[in-house]
Structure 1
Amino acid sequence: MSLRVKALGIVGLALVVVSAALYVVARSVTLDNAAELERASARENLERALHALSMRIERLDETNLDWASWDDSYAFVQDGNEAYVESNLVEETFGALRVNLITFVNGSGQIVWQQGLDLESEEEMPVPDRLRAFAWPDDPLLQHTDLKRGTKGLLLLEERPLMLSSRPILTSEDEGPRHGTLIMGRYLDEDVIAQLAASTQLSLQLRLLDDPALPRDFLAARASMTEQTPIAVHPLSSESVAGYTELDDFSGEPKLILRVDMPRSIYATSQGSLRVLVLALLGVGVGLGLVVLVLLETLVVSPVAKLSANVRKIANGQSPSSRVAVSGNDEVAALAVNVNGILDALAEHQEATERELAARMETEAELREHYTRVERARSEARAILDAATEAMILVSPSGVVTAFNRSFASRILTGRPGEIIGEHLEVLTAHFERLFGVEVGAVPLMAGTAPNREGVLSLDVLQRWPERRELQLTSTPVHSGDGSYVGRLYTFRDVTRDREMGHLMSDFVSQVAHDVRTPLTSIRGYVQMLLDGESASISPTQRRHLGNVQRNADRLAALVDNLLDSAQLEAGEMRLDFSDVDLANMIREVSETLRPQVEGKDQTLTLALDEGLWPVLADALRLTQVVDNLLSNAYKYTPPGGDISVAARNRADDVVVEVRDTGVGLSEGEQAQLFTKFYRARRTEDRKTEGTGLGLAIARSIITLHHGDIWVESTPGNGATFCFTVPVAQRVPATVGQGTAGRAGRSGQPDVLRASDRDRR
């Protein structure tokens, strides 16, 4: 586009801008005044329509007053005589009164007589539910604090507006007492609207505010209404304008919106005047534009054209060192100097761009190499997961499946079609219920623990389909390299073979223990006879040797008893004989039995038992076994001169017992395995202490059978505190069957065995 064309465009644009500015000013003066006149006229017409509607409701109220203040109505509402109905409440009465509804209510809020009539079809119509029963005495339609005044207005019933009047029923002299209420109503239908439009000579429309098909102009008008401006005026087209206002019902809430239409005659006249003014302005502007064009051609366009020719020569020559010739001392000369400066800057920018492009290409190559390493690492991680024999599934904190390995697909997802990556765990609900049963609740369990960023979950589940297998479900949190929480990895490990081997080993141990017990009993008996001198006198050396035999036989007997107890617990065959047990007395007896040994090591044994310690419902023999085991361990692992204490206190629904010592203490790793069978600490000083590693495992199982918990609190070098709880007598079932310490699914126990929270510490 040439400079001359641009100059012509600028002049034309200036002409248009000036004309537009003058038009805006003229429109602001003329059309805005016309619009204000239109709004005032619309408000006046709306007020006329509202007055006509108010007068229509007033006439309905006057009609209701004539009937309510009448001796016959006064008597009818009390006795409900049929003569009154036959002579007054007929179809012609509805037509004469121009009402759709009449309701007589007595002084107790009971409807004496009620009927609705369609005036057009003259057929009986149903009465809306709102007027078929009243909440006496609080219904606002029945409340009349002033007997001389009634209640009137609009009421929205079943999506239909109703003009309604409620009057107290009095005598013909307007005297009380009030014997009830007379309610008359007329639907504000199209016939009534048409009558109002005819009486006011206005075009009226009435719509419900909550009408889903409410036209856009009604919605726009309603949005512009406020408490200060309850009337809105909006043009419908260039030929008509409308006024809007909301109508309230009895509750004072807006329910309807009324529109009044009228022609825009004032606005049309103002537009004609504006068109004449615009034509005059265009004529003056064209003359001025021609003068300005001539001046621009002489003073600006010609010098700039020469400068453009010089720049074009430089461009065609494709020489970076060429520059524009500068002549004169005006703005065009200054422009030439600036052009030369731009050419210098362009040369520098081109060099910088080439350097930046080379650096970007190098960065892209590094990114491609990094992406290749990431993809290789991802493939290796996937291969490691697929190589694992355990079934694994990774779940995000929100419960969405993000990954699973080949073993999970083949062992857990067997028989389930469809992809689950990106889906919530809930899609597996039906499949998991088929695999594990409804009572396990595997999906809610996994979805509930997925947001947990800490801790390890471990529990046993029994798979029922397509084959019966015992699985160990383990859950561990997974974090990314930057420490952010990714989700939880759930691992299903098949422990069926391990459990079967464990049970075989338990059966074997039980059989061996029984086989050993018989000859061991004979050995202990004969040794005791020799020590008592019943068979022959023995020398001191022989007595010392027999004492060693007796002590080792007693140790072996204790080992056999522990093995038998462990086998019974493992098989779920240990039965408990429950009775009310005085726990405080039991603790004292066990403490007194052990006190000589404690004092022999120069140790101190103290008791701190709450006064009024509640009795517990327990097997006295087995609970004594637990207390004895904990006290014996404290004695064994506390060095000479140490302190041992036993405390017991009442809690909300159980009794808590604590056995504290000042021994060497336990590490977190030792605490995690302490209640495992045959586990003993690896420290040399602990290895020297006598023990089988079965006592704490048996104690834990016994406490579990008592519906209690057992746990340990310790830090290395600061001793240990062993705690257990036993429910109080009235909270424990009167009879307890086989224990739940056996393997899952045995003896009719649940298929999921969960360790208590304290056991996991």
Structure 2
Amino acid sequence: MLRSRSFLIFVGVVLFIMGSPFLVARYTLMRALEGLEHRSVHSAMQAIQRTIDAELLKLRRTAENWAFWDDTYRFVDDLNEAYIDGNLNKETFINLHVRAMLFYDTKRHLRYQAAYDLETGEPDPLPGDFLDRISSTPSIFLADDDPECLSGMLVHGDRVMFSAACPILTSKYEGPRQGTLVVLRELGEEMTKFLQQAASHPVRFEMVPLQRGSASVFEPTVVFFPDRVLGRFLVPDLSERVGLVVETTLERSIRREGVRSFLVFSSALALLAVFAMGLLWFFMDRRVLGRISDLLLKVRRLPISSEGMPEERGSDEIVALDRSIDGLVHALQRSIDDNHRYLQETQKILENHPTGMILIDAEKRTVSWVNKKALELIGRSLDEVRHVPCKDVVCPSQERECPVLDHGREVCDVECVMPTRDGRGVPVLRSITLVTFKQRPHLLEVVTDLRQQKALEAQLDRAKKLETVGLVAGGVAHDLNNLLTSLVGYPDMLLRRLPPDHALYQPLNRIRDAGLKASAIVQDLLTLARRGVKSMEDIDVGDVVREFLSSAEYAALCRTHVRVRFKTKVEGRRLCCRGSRPHLEKALANLVRNAAEAIADTGTVTVGLQVVQLNEPYTGFETIPPGRWICLSVEDTGSGISQEDLPHIFEPFYTKKKMGGSGTGLGMTIVWHAVKDMGGFVDVVSMPGEGTSVRLYLPEAEPPAETARSPMPAVLPRGSGEKVLVVEDMDDQRDLVKTLLTDLGYEVTCASSGVQAIRLAADQQFDLLVLDMRLEDDLDGLQVYQEFLKRRADQKAIIVSGDVSKDRLAAAEALGISHFMAKPYTMEKLAKIVYAALQEEAQ
């Protein structure tokens, strides 16, 4: 009985598996294939439509370029031969892929026709009936008040043309309209192949007559045939009396292949189902039903009464019990295997966890297990710490007793220093919890490495300090420079007019020198704020060193420190980098001055320059990546820097010198900013009593071509009546610049705002503009210069400002302004920059 029911169930399952795919195919697969074909044809039609629209757009732009042209505007009126010979030739039509150009006047009379056969390059006028067809299409000839162009198809007989029509206006799109320009491109074999490539399917065209208003009714359609799928859509003629039907076909190979594949799959599935069910029935009969029969046979052979014996139909429960027991045994075996595998995976995870883990026997107080990260932190191997008292290898406490086991302290996310083999210790975040391992109490100690975090915190703290000081410095620098302009400029102007023996000459000279020194301090503040005016240029670092050694500042340094010996070790070849030359010069001067001042009695300061090739990262004061670097070094044999002070030397206002004397606390900060702006790195090595070595690693650049510098005149260069416009919103500075430039021989005009300057430009031209970058009205100096460029493309200009950002300076250089003058400035500096700007070729 049980075998019969089982057999019927198996037969039903086989029939279901064999019949289900046919039902699925009937309701899903065939529809899906048809949908796929429909989308493929629809996509092809969309591709054709997009290609046609793109070609019409290209033709329309071509028509616009020719119609909105002053030469075309005149040609419709006078039909000059120069226009025909220079423009309406076969090369033009071949390059533009244009079949014909038709020039109509405002009365729709054809003034001129230019048409070529693009294959032969020979003139090929359009037939008269086609021209009549164009003349009878009113939509081509736009209304007088319509400046827009139109494009579309023109169908006449067996000819199909892409067409574009534009009103003929001037280059400034002004009228009155002289007529209409019609540009034609033929839909030939080459265009048909191009449309077929876009659609990836064959394309065919058919001309059909249309009734007015019927073009909008003819929607794109997809028709299914037994062997192909046909897609059709209509492109109406500009007159909407004739339409071009575009057809594309798709062979139904997808459906045929799908049906064939499905039949193969269904047959294979049916055979597999029959085989699988037969095999399953065989094993079921042998392993289950056979056992039931044997069990029932044994029960019948028992020497007991048949009363109370269960009926044979109860044998189904015995089979269920037997199968349940087998399943339980197999499940238990799988569970054992899974637990063993999970244990191995957990062990691997703990071993490779990025957090250090230490397991300590709470009774023996020895180390039982340590993972890889913990071993890396303490610098020992597993054999060196296993079964070793934890107090000797991992405990950071200095107490004899255990704080956790003896005093019951809780340790959770506590920062401490873990002992290492070399005795330095490692900062860690430590947590301890009580666990059971191998039925013994243990302490699980989890430690997180804080070295990288501590380093980042130190860098962040330094960056916050620099940012705070930089913001304060940048905020006051502009106002200070504006005030110092008058403080320096007026004394300088008076000194030029007074003889050296005048009673006021020396006081005025001291006032000017004080202003210049204040300006230097402001420039240091701007450099600190990373907003100082600088430009990225090619720098010959050796030339920077040589110029410093021949400068007045170096000579004064030698006179001050007569017992210090200065040496140089500079490579002979040119070593160049990209950056700001003034900032690099300032950094070198600060380093040499600090080195000389660090020598109390006698000693040596050595300036070195060489190329260094790093094949791997070098870790010193900071980590320097591998590469080829220019190393500019300054070494001294002075008192050196203590290890406590070394991490703070680049912080602003951190100095051991007397503030207000030789040190301001900004020198090394400026060095740091200058190097970082150039993409470089700084390394400092110092020992107290032995001296200090500061090395600047700068990215090497290709040496530029050497150019000769044009010598400036020994005396102040003067003008020859050139017209200069000064745009400055501060009255005192505007008057100062006007007076200085007038004394130098220039004709000066002043404007107190950008709006006033633009109004002056409408009436006269100026040889040079002197523009303040920041103006009180809505326009700044850069915007004023842009307005001047609209009127005169070669207008020369100088930008003047007390403080300007790098972005604004870069924008000025991009517009062609090559000279910048920072406030405050002297009469000599003003004269030289104005002279250089006027002598420079217009860019």
TM-score, L = length of structure 1: 0.30
CA radius of gyration, larger in: 1
TM-score, L = length of structure 2: 0.27
